[in-house]
Amino acid sequence: MNVLVVIAHPDDEALGCGGTIAKLAEAGATVDVLLPLRRCDPRGRATWDQLLTAFSRSCRILGARQLIPDSPMDETDAEPRPHILHDLILPWIERADLVLTHWPGDVNQVHRGVARAVEIATRPFRRRIDVSCFEVPTSTDQAFGVGGLPFVANEHVVHDATHARLKTEAAATYGSELVMGRRPEDVERSLRARGASIGVPFAEAFAVARRFR
């Protein structure tokens, strides 16, 4: 199984689906994490090298391969030019059996641009690829929602303590990004909350966007 995780920023892979990446990799899937954009805000530019180092460490912890295009797009172009981003990510999309990416109603506009590009690239009349959307703290949970509707989980991935620990460790590599809601203790709390909602110790929640299997 070839799994592609398409993210807007370094740390989204850990926060959004780190436990699922670890679980799939442990089960023998090839998991690639694609970072097609570069930060353009002042803080992001100042810490970009550190963020890329943390991204590399996070992927190693989770058992995934990091993918960064030779010429990534500026993140400010993601939402207004999703067709260009689509062209950039398409070669990796075409090799995937499952794509995990952002919820299109996130408050972060770069997340929305990435989700839109994946939506375009996975139109069923061209290719049939399963797609699930993950939630990212301080973005998915703080948006108005698509058409007035918030993120609604209709898929859960159950994790054991090892998967939960790996997700938390991966998120903790991003020292500059550990604000309220994204700290290791917050990540564990979210895993427990999603798990409690289905009667297990730990889980991650997704919204199914496309499913053919």
Question: Tens-digit pLDDT profile for the chain (213 aa)?
Answer: 999 999 999 999 999 999 999 999 999 999 999 999 999 888 888 889 999 999 999 999 999 999 999 999 999 998 889 999 999 999 999 999 999 999 999 999 999 999 999 999 999 999 999 999 999 999 999 988 766 678 999 999 999 999 999 999 999 999 877 677 789 999 999 999 999 999 999 999 999 999 998
Q: Which of 24, 17, 22 is nearest to 1 (CA)?
A: 24
What confidence score (pLDDT) does residue 107 get? 93
DSSP per residue, the chain: -EEEEE-SSTTHHHHHHHHHHHHHHHTT-EEEEE--EE--SHHHHHTHHHHHHHHHHHHHHHT-EEE--SSPEEGGGTTT-HHHHHHHHHHHHTT-SEEEEE-TT-SSHHHHHHHHHHHHHT-TTT---EEEEE--TTTGGGS--BTTB-----EEEEE-HHHHHHHHHHHHT-GGG--TTTSHHHHHHHHHHHHHTTTSSEEEEEEEEE---
pLDDT of residue 180: 72
pTM: 0.95
